[in-house]
A = this chain, B = another copy of it.
Amino acid sequence: MPRVSGHAESVLKGKGYRMTRQRRAIWEILRTSGGHLSAEEILEALADRFPGVNLSTVYRNLEVLRREGLVRETGLGHRHRHYEVGPEHHHLVCRGCGAVIHLAAVEIPSALELAGAHGFEVEETSLTVFGRCRSCRERK
């Protein structure tokens, strides 16, 4: 996953996409946030600079960025989806308070072997650990 801003622009232009101000802003927001954002959160972050910006624009751009491999879509067990850029990592989700902690990517060789045995070419590995954080357990 690329860390450099200019990379997205060349990838997209090479495919015939245009780099509009909204698209660049969405990309920057994702790239600099460090975390996982929902479409709604991206919209809020955009609203400063683009007062009339629309949610459908956010969704359409997320779809383009995802299709071109610039953004990952993650399901964290919530109702809405989350989007993120940056190095692959995993998530620890507390079922009590909803807190999400990032975990460094870990090797899961046996799963990858199994995938290969099924003739799969692996594109992405999503690991989410659900549980209860210490304060939610004590509060119980």
Residues of A within 8 A of B (CB): 73, 75, 77, 90, 92, 94-95, 101, 103-104, 106-108, 110-112, 114-115, 118-134, 137
Q: Is the Cβ of B137 less than 8 Å from the Cβ of A129?
A: no
The residue that A95 contacts in the complex, of B118, B123, B127, B128, with Cβ under 8 A, is B123
Whole-angstrom distance between the alpha carbons of A125 and B103 in the complex?
A: 13
Across-interface contacts of A121 in B (CB, < 8 A): 131-132, 137
Contact A131 B127 (CB under 8 A): no
Interfacial chain B residues near A125, Cβ < 8 Å: 127-130
The 7 lowest CB-CB distance pairs between A and B, nearest first, are A119-B134, A75-B75, A106-B110, A122-B131, A120-B131, A124-B130, A126-B128
